[in-house]
Amino acid sequence: MKKRKAGGFSYFLVEGVRGIFLHGFMSFAAVGVIVACLLIMGSFTLLAVNIDAMIRDIEQSNQIVVFVDESLTVAEAKSVSTKFPASAQENIKDSKWVSREEALDEFVGSLEGKFKDLLTGYEDSDVLRHRYVVTLMDITKIDDTIERIEGVDGVAYVRADLKTAQGLVTVRRVVEAISVALIVVLLLVSVFIISNTIKLATFDRREEIGIMRIVGATKAFIRWPFVVEGILLGLCASVMGFFAQSALYSWFTGRVLGTIALVEVIPFSDMMIPIALAFVVIGFLVGVGGSLLTIRKFLRV
């Protein structure tokens, strides 16, 4: 039978696995804490992502209306949008031409029966202007886009609900700031809790570490099994946390938000890869960081 070389990768891997099963309860506690922290951070992140997506959808439905100079012919009016500068075109998602007749029909159609009679005799008159209904891609650039469009020859003026636009931008920024702050705080709390959990497991093996130092074992030789153990615990928690997050997200969106017709959420499958990578990276770093921080104290013999 081939012997494992002391100090080789296989040796550290076997020792790391042995450490996990040797202190089963503490290993279970460490994994449980990491999974709980990943679920909390993941849930807040998914909530923030969905809120941001909803706000962006609302933003994109906020349109501006570009009114054409009434002295232009229909052909000239239809060509005005081709004169929009490139800097404005970059922020335009859609531009819909609406003739004055279509605008009047739409306005009359929005009125109730008794008010329609007030427009009798005006159906064929030029009471409205030709216009473009423009949907923007980034509402934060609305002021700059309006300014550039207003400078186009043939544009009479631009109408926009700036208060609503600015309010949506403010809400989105507040949500993003709160989400980032919560994630950072939860990450720091997670590292603190996990570090203390691993510290308890290491404290339970302080005599073993002390004996190894006395007989001449190097710090690296002692440290690596704990690092490998931390990595394995972190990766195990990442896998468990990912599947738990998937189940929790599916349950919440199906049972809770599924009853609210107006709320649309991003499918978990669309975010699966980024979430999996984030969980693996966080689990790996937390496992390594927690092990290195705690083992350093017990190597001072």
Concatenating the DSSP letter of every residue in the chain gives -PPPPTTSHHHHHHHHHHHHHHTHHHHHHHHHHHHHHHHHHHHHHHHHHHHHHHHHHHHHH-EEEEEEPTTS-HHHHHTGGGGS-HHHHTTEEEEEEE-HHHHHHHHHHHS-HHHHGGGTT-TTS--S--EEEEEES-GGGHHHHHHHHHTSTTEEEEEE-HHHHHHHHHHHHHHHHHHHHHHHHHHHHHHHHHHHHHHHHHHTTHHHHHHHHHTT--HHHHHHHHHHHHHHHHHHHHHHHHHHHHHHHHHIIIIIGGG-TT-----HHHHHHHHHHHHHHHHHHHHHHHHHHHHHHHT--
Both 174 and 28 in one domain: the answer is: yes
Both 92 and 110 in one domain: the answer is: yes
Structural domain includes residue 294: yes
Both 188 and 294 in one domain: the answer is: yes
The CA distance from 275 to 246, in Å, is 10
Residue 221 pLDDT greater than 90, yes or no: no
Residue 122 pLDDT greater than 60, yes or no: no
Both 132 and 194 in one domain: the answer is: no
Tell me the pTM.
Answer: 0.64
Say what the alpha-carbon torsion angle 19, 23, 26, 30 is, to the nearest 10 degrees: 20
Compute the average pLDDT of residues 7-20. 70
Compute the average pLDDT of residues 68-93. 87
Residue 154 pLDDT greater than 80, yes or no: yes
Q: What is the CATH number of the domain that holds 82?
A: 3.30.70.3040
Residue 134 pLDDT greater than 80, yes or no: yes
| Beta carbons within 10 angstroms of residue 185's beta carbon | 12
Using the 3D structure, point to which of 160, 183, 201 is the last residue of a domain: 160
Query: Of 88-102, 117-131, 144-158, 197-211, where does mean pLDDT reach its minimum?
Result: 117-131
Q: Which residues are CB-contacts of 160 (< 8 A; sequence separation ≥ 6)?
A: 64, 65, 142, 146
Both 67 and 207 in one domain: the answer is: no
Q: In the prediction, which pLDDT does 3 show? A: 47
Query: Bigger pLDDT: 278 or 300?
Result: 278
Query: Bigger pLDDT: 123 or 12?
Result: 12
Both 183 and 294 in one domain: the answer is: yes
How many domains in the chain? 2
Using the 3D structure, point to which of 142, 160, 178 is the last residue of a domain: 160
Structural domain includes residue 125: yes
Structural domain includes residue 130: yes
Compute the average pLDDT of residues 157-172. 77
Q: In the prediction, which pLDDT does 23 show? A: 67
Tokens (6 digits) for 26? 């503490």
Structural domain includes residue 270: yes
Structural domain includes residue 1: no
Compute the average pLDDT of residues 141-147. 86
Both 156 and 116 in one domain: the answer is: yes
Which residues form the domain of 149? 63-160
Structural domain includes residue 4: no
Both 196 and 267 in one domain: the answer is: yes
Query: Bigger pLDDT: 16 or 110?
Result: 16
The string of pLDDT tens digits covering residues 234-283 is 888 899 999 999 999 888 887 766 565 556 778 888 888 999 998 999 88
Both 179 and 273 in one domain: the answer is: yes
Query: Mind giving me the DSSP string for 9-20?
Result: HHHHHHHHHHHH
Using the 3D structure, point to which of 139, 160, 181 is the last residue of a domain: 160
> What long-range pairs does 206-213 form, CB within 8 A, spacing at least 24?
206/298, 209/295, 209/298, 209/299, 209/301, 210/298, 210/301, 213/299, 213/301
Both 17 and 119 in one domain: the answer is: no
Structural domain includes residue 32: yes
Both 78 and 147 in one domain: the answer is: yes
Both 131 and 271 in one domain: the answer is: no
Structural domain includes residue 3: no
